[in-house]
Structure formats: structure tokens, C-alpha cells
Chains A and B, each alone.
Chain A
Amino acid sequence: GQQLNQSPQSMFIQEGEDVSMNCTSSSIFNTWLWYKQDPGEGPVLLIALYKAGELTSNGRLTAQFGITRKDSFLNISASIPSDVGIYFCAGQENSGGSNYKLTFGKGTLLTVNP
């Protein structure tokens, strides 16, 4: 099956710094999604990317769908303490019919020091 390589595995940064994380896959995806998970909660969708080359922003977050459709990155600018959490990339493939499956990366644990 599809595999996603997400890096880095963890990051420790100072408040105010910018952050970048990325995902690469061995195969093509139709859609890339970025989620954030807080402790004890379910993942929350941050940004969805539907077209190769698409660059989308959501506040201080910016994500891009790679031209090859095999990669995506997420940038967070001017980090704040509440950015702490686990960030997941997810890629969606269409396996036929209504079979749309999300494959998740292993997550990037972000710690922001005030």
C-alpha cells in the first residue's frame, strides 16, 4: 500500500520562529491534507489541497501540493505556544468507485517554548 514519509519526527522551537514540515510518498495522491491533533482530541483539518502545484494559506499556515503529486509541505509562521501539537499529513488516493482512502504520515510533534 501507499506509504508516507513525514519529517521531521519532532521539532523544538522558540515562540516567534517559523516552522516547516513535509511529506513525501512513493506514489501519486489526488489530494493532500494537513491535520493537527491536540492531546486527548481527534485530528482537526487545517488545510486541504486538491490540485498539483496548489499553494493555500490559512492564517499563519501555508501548505503546498507538490507538482509531482508525491509531496507536500506545511509552513507555520511566527509560531505561538498554542501551535503545540502533532501535525499529520494525509494523502488521498482514489482506488476506484467511491473508494477514497486516506493514508496518514507518522506525524510531526511540535513543541513551542515561550
Chain B
Amino acid sequence: DTAVSQTPKYLVTQMGNDKSIKCEQNLGHDTMYWYKQDSKKFLKIMFSYNNKELIINETVPNRFSPKSPDKAHLNLHINSLELGDSAVYFCASDPGQGISAAFFGQGTRLTVV
């Protein structure tokens, strides 16, 4: 009964490719996020969606495009992958309305070669 699940867990791909990471939460939360964790373990928010609406876009290159088909899903599509995109990407969700106890998925380790 995984609360926030993301797939795949590992993704190795060549520069220039396009790839997607999927995320689903079964907590009934209104708000979902994508975070990026770099090699120094620094966690930085990328996007936030509330009820399928984009709320936060933290100056992420437009090669990254989140899509929320419904409030339980938030997918991340990345075009023209670059070496610097290698990182661990975390999906998270919280109830919204200022209740910030975010639940994180297990992460997707993306390696661009």
C-alpha cells in the first residue's frame, strides 16, 4: 500500500533523449510536487500542482514539463536530456491548504550518459 509511488526507480539514458517519470499518490491529497536532489543531497522544489493546477514553477528549464491528468497523478516529462539532469527526482504530496506534511516517493535516480 505505497502512499506515493513513482516509476521507474532507476533510469539510465543517453543525452538528447526524451524520458518520463510517473507518480501516483493514493492518499487523497490535493497537492503534488516534484523535487530534484543533486549529488550533494540538496533537495530543491521544481514544481507544485494543486488540484491539477500548476502553482509553483521554480525557474526550471522548459525542457521539463509536468503533467497532471488528475489530482492523484503528476508525471514529469524531460526533453533533450543533458548530463546535468542526472539526479534523483522525488515526487511528493500533501493535503494542501497549508498543511505541509509532505509525503515523498522513493525517488527516481536518473543517469544521463
Contacts and interface: CB of A to CB of B under 8 A. Distances in A.
Interface of A: 30-31, 33, 35, 37, 40-45, 48, 86, 88, 92, 94, 97-104, 106-107
Nearest to B109: A40
A31 B97 contact: no
Interface string B53-66: 00110000000000
Interface in B30-87: 31, 33, 40-45, 48, 50, 55-56
A108 to B, nearest CB: 10
A43 B50 contact: no
Contacts of A88: 43
Interface of B: 4, 31, 33, 40-45, 48, 50, 55-56, 90, 92, 96-98, 100-107
Interface of B is mostly: strand
Given A35-B104, A98-B97, A104-B43, 19 more contacts: A37-B41, A40-B106, A40-B107, A42-B90, A42-B92, A42-B107, A43-B104, A45-B101, A45-B103, A88-B43, A99-B48, A100-B98, A100-B100, A102-B100, A102-B102, A104-B42, A106-B40, A106-B41, A107-B41
Given A98-B50, A99-B56, A43 B98 contact: no
A88 B56 CA distance: 21
B107 A41 contact: yes
B55 A41 contact: no
A44 B104 contact: yes
A42 B41 contact: no
B44 A104 contact: yes
B56 A101 contact: yes
Nearest to B59: A1
Contacts of A101: 45, 48, 56
Contacts of B50: 98
B45 A43 contact: no
A33 B102 CA distance: 9
A27 to B, nearest CB: 16
